Amino acid sequence: ELPRQHHQVLLFPSPGAGHLIPLVELARRLAVDHSLPVTIVTLSGMSDPATDAAVLSSLPATVATASLPAVSLEDLSPDIGFGTLMFELVRRSLPHLRALIMATTTTAALVCDFFGTAALPLSTELGVQGYVFFPNSFAMISIMRHIVKLHGNGDVVDGAPGEEYHDLPDPLPLPGGLLLRHADLPDGFRDSTDPVYAYLVEEARRYGHADGFLVNSFEEMETAMAEEFKRDAKDGAFPPVYPVGPFVRSSSSGKESDESACLEWLDRQPEDSVVYVSFGTGGALSVEQTAELAAGLETSGHRFLWVVRMPSLDGNPCALGKVPGDEDDPLAWLPEGFLERTKGRGLAVAAWAPQVRVLEHRATAAFVSHCGWNSTLESVAAGVPMVAWPLYAEQKMNAAVLTEVTGVALRPAARGDGMVASEEIAAAVREVMDGEKGSAVRRRARELRDAAAWAWSPEGSSRRALGEVAGKWKGALGNTKGTIA
């Protein structure tokens, strides 16, 4: 039951608020800055409808939304992995997406994200421009291109059954001289026998057929990589990649009372004195690691605001999808006496803080972060240097980029068993706050803050890049390319 109108640019996010949020931001900018008619098409089945609705409610009224009918994933084994499930959900939803595009009078472009490129052949078939939105870095696209180098572009064997997969080289050289260690590759990329690897190969092979990419980064953040992609687009070696970031929400949503408690506490702290500690929406430390972090913060002597989440009891640092019970109190897992001993200079809050506002606060000086890309961009946009403490997904690669390329983070060493000892934590916090090595990191953070602000200023690089893409889509509408009779 879809209206035969106003579906001109279709944004097709993969499931989960983390994937929806940046596309909502893209939709807002396309609608408000470029007067493009935009529809966000969501999938059903793998994300919480209430959370999705809350995220979508921030859209301007001119942006339409549509939801595809649910498809069955019941035949798949539950331990097949989150990524694989997401790829499968997209694939199985394609007939519904096809029907939706057919039901609209004019569609200029279809924009999918990392998990959604199975929709690209559909855009080719229907004469619609096909774009991929990357919510993370240029580095991530680089890795996907390496996969194609290793396996060919699939013209001969497209995901052929029994195809042999190869491990990426160790270290993996990335543009700009970064040698990415095998251990720092994103999850799913470290082992070619992992079932998700076959999906990654197939995804990567589709990239060459995209009309273009949008990436939530900006030129100064990954200069050498941005330049290499520019050269390759000119030579026709790869579709154009438009850096349109950073997309930073103007404020974060959460429980009102917690929000004001954090901000009121920060208001009472001296300027540039507080270390903000958070591991994103899914990061979970073991009980032992929580104790080391507490001891490290305590011995550092600095003020801190720590967003404490329920510890991981099964060794998995990713708690996404685990819903804490009402009676769960993360603060109860902190070491005995810690809160009393640090009273006055430390605030521990359960589960959630209004992060964007915390990072922008004048009292906040540094961020101990899991290096999720949104957190990273929020920190950079606020000029806050980081202590990189990556846990899962592509966070270790982000940490490598931030420490070795961008220069806005220090990374404490982990022991052989993966544990970061309290002395390492205290040393990294002291260094980033007032050490000599830390001063270069603090200076870079200020430079990048200015560069990020410039990227979205009237003549800035990201604003211009999005304008260029919007122009192409408008042109396509004018030419009625994509009109389906």
Phi first, then psi: give them for residue 302, nearest 5 degrees: -90, 160
Site for ligand UDP contains 355 (CB under 6 A): yes
Least distance from ligand UDP to the Cβ atom of residue 215, Å: 14
From the CB of 15, what's the least distance to ligand UDP, in Å?
Answer: 13
Please choose, out of 23-31, 286-294, 369-377, 457-465, the segment that lies near ligand UDP by the rule CB under 6 A: 369-377
Shortest CB 280 distance to ligand UDP, Å: 3
Smallest distance, ligand UDP to C-beta of residue 307, A = 4
Residue among 107, 375, 379, 406 that touches ligand UDP (CB under 6 A): 375
Nearer to ligand UDP, 282 or 346 (CB): 282
**Per-residue binding letters, 296-335, with ligand UDP (x by CB under 6 A):** -----------x----------------------------
**Which residue number, 294 or 356, has a Cβ lying nearer to ligand UDP?**
356
The verdict on whether omega for the bond into residue 246 sits within 30 degrees of 0, i.e. cis, is yes
Minimum CB separation of residue 408 from ligand UDP in Å reads 15
What string marks each residue from 250 to 279 as x (binds ligand UDP by CB under 6 A) or -?
A: --x-------------------------x-
Q: What angle do CA 359, 63, 462 make, to 5 degrees?
A: 50
378 lines the binding site for ligand UDP (CB under 6 A): yes
Confirm whether 6 is a catalytic residue: no
Contacting ligand UDP within 406-465 (CB under 6 A): none
The two tokens of residue 245 are: 């970031």
Q: Which of 3, 137, 11 is nearest to 63 (CA)?
A: 11
Residue number with CB closer to ligand UDP (87 or 279) = 279
* Among the listed residues 373, 389, 456, 473, the single contact to ligand UDP using CB under 6 A: 373
Let me know if 113 is a catalytic residue. yes
CA 129, chain centre distance (Å): 24
Find the shortest distance in angstroms from Cβ 374 to ligand UDP. 3
- Is residue 18 within the footprint of ligand UDP (CB under 6 A)? yes
Nearer to ligand UDP, 52 or 378 (CB): 378
- Which lies closer to ligand UDP via its Cβ, residue 378 or residue 424? 378
Query: Does 282 engage in binding with ligand UDP (CB under 6 A)?
Result: yes
Judged by CB under 6 A, the residue of 106, 300, 374, 422 near ligand UDP is: 374
| Residue 265 vs 352, nearer CB to ligand UDP | 352
When the beta carbons of 356 and 405 are compared against ligand UDP, the nearer one is: 356
CB of 144 to ligand UDP, least distance (A): 19
Nearer Cβ to ligand UDP (307/451)? 307
The binder of ligand UDP chosen from 37, 116, 280, 390 (CB under 6 A): 280
Whole-number Cα distances in Å, 326 to 3, 94, 323, 329: 42, 38, 9, 8
Catalytic site residue from 113, 184, 187, 211: 113
Q: CB nearest ligand UDP: which residue?
A: 372
Where along the sequence are the contacts to ligand UDP (CB under 6 A)? 18, 252, 278, 280-282, 307, 352-356, 372-375, 378
Residues forming the active site: 19, 113
